[in-house]
Amino acid sequence: MSQATSDKAFNTSELGPPNITDMRKVTSDKIWVRRPGRDPLSFTREELQNKDVKDLDDLKKLLLIRFGYDPERTPTDCIAVRHPKEDNLRASTPITELFNDDKSALEVTISEDRNGSN
């Protein structure tokens, strides 16, 4: 009985892979993004820290600027950012979970142009 209890407590088959960020992202020092029909571009960890980018919502504001939109006139809800393999990005997703490489660039789409520039 002691053995059965021990097996139950330490049954490694019940343990799934750890629920942590993909290690490739952790070792990268850039966040790569891609808009349809355009080459990917990246933001370095240093650039993001200097601009006080903490989460996906902050990154969206930076993306609007990078793509020539006025962040004062264009709300962040008109920009969609998707991970190519995951569909669970939230505005509050920490920036530390988004570091990647150019092969797994975040997919960026911007809805109707609201301020006449792109």
Q: What is the pLDDT of residues 33-76, one digit of tens each?
A: 999 999 999 999 999 999 999 999 999 999 999 999 998 899 99
Selected residue with higher pLDDT from 27 and 81:
81
Task: State the amino acid at position 26 in one-letter form.
Answer: V
Q: What is the pTM of this model?
A: 0.70
Task: State how far the Cα of 66 lies from the Cα of 42, in Å rounded to an integer.
Answer: 10
Write out the E strands in 15-114: 30-34, 41-44, 79-82, 106-110
**Are 34 and 106 within 8 A, CB to CB?**
yes
Up-side HSE of residue 117: CA atoms within 13 Å toward CB? 10
**All domains in the chain, ordered by first residue:** 19-110 (3.10.20.90)
